[in-house]
Amino acid sequence: MNSDQPQPRWQRRKDARPAEITEAALALFIQKGYAATKLDEVAKAAGVTKGTLYLYFASKEDLFKAAVRDAWGPSLQLAEEMVADTQQSAAQLLETLILRWVEKLENSPVNGLSKLAIGEAGNFPEIAQFYLQEVVDRSRRIYSQVIERGIQQGEFRAVDIGFTVSEIISPIIMQTLWQQAFGPYRKNLFDLPAFARFHLDMLLAALRPTTAADIKP
C-alpha cells in the first residue's frame, strides 16, 4: 500500500478527533439547528462511530459547548491578550478588534452561531445562557476595557461604557442576522467588511472629544 496516500479520516491520530468532531458538529448545528441535529449525523460527518463520539462528549449539550469554545475560544483569548499587552492607542485597538472579528465572521462557520443561539433560546435556555457567558459577555468585557482605556487616556470622550459597547457590537450582529435571513433572496451580496469600516469611522468620530468638557477629569 502506498504510504503517501491520505489516510482515512477515522485512522487519524486520536488527539485530532475531538476537534474533527466539534468541527462537524458546528456545521450541522448551524445548518439544521440544535434540536434537529442528531449525534449519529455528527459522528458520520466526523468519520467516527457514535461510540467514539461518546468517548469525548457525554451529551449533545456538551458537544455544543465544546464546538462553541473551539470556534470562538482562540480568537477571544487572542483579543484579551492584545488588550492586556498592546501598545496601540485605544482607537487603533478598537479598529484591530472590529476588523478581525468581521474577518472571522466572513471566513468561518461562526457567522451562523448568533442566529442559532437566538433561534434556540426559547426551547433550550441552557445553551443560550452558555453562549451569553462564553461569547457575548466575554466579548463585551474586551470592548469595555478598550473604551475605558480610551476615556482614561483622554482619547475618547466620557461616555456610558455599557451603551457604547452595545453600539459597537449590535450593528454588526444585526447585519449578519439580516444577511443570513434575507441574503439568499437578494441579488447583491452585502459587503460586511465595508460596512464594518464605515461603522468604525462613525464610532471613532462619535467618541472623539470635541471640547475640554468631553474629557474625563
Domains of the chain (ranges; CATH) run 61-207 (1.10.357.10)
Angle (deg, nearest 10), helices 90-107 and 161-182: 20
DSSP string computed for 136-151: IHHHHHHHHHHHHHHH
Residue 128 near residue 121, CB atoms below 8 Å = yes
Residue 79 near residue 97, CB atoms below 8 Å = yes
Q: What is the pLDDT of residue 215?
A: 63
pLDDT digits (tens, 9 = 90+) for 114-148: 889 888 999 999 999 999 999 999 999 999 999 99
Q: Is the pTM of this model over 0.75?
A: yes
Q: Degrees (nearest 5) of the Cα angle 104, 107, 108?
A: 80
Q: What is the pLDDT of residue 178?
A: 87
| Alpha helical stretches, state H, 47-112 | 50-56, 60-85, 90-107
Any idea which of 56-60, 186-190, 209-213 has the lowest mean pLDDT? Answer: 209-213
pLDDT digits (tens, 9 = 90+) for 3-56: 454 444 444 445 558 999 999 999 999 999 999 999 999 999 999 999 999 999
Chain mean position to CA 95: 16
CA distance 59 to 109: 22
* Cell numbers for 44: 458520520
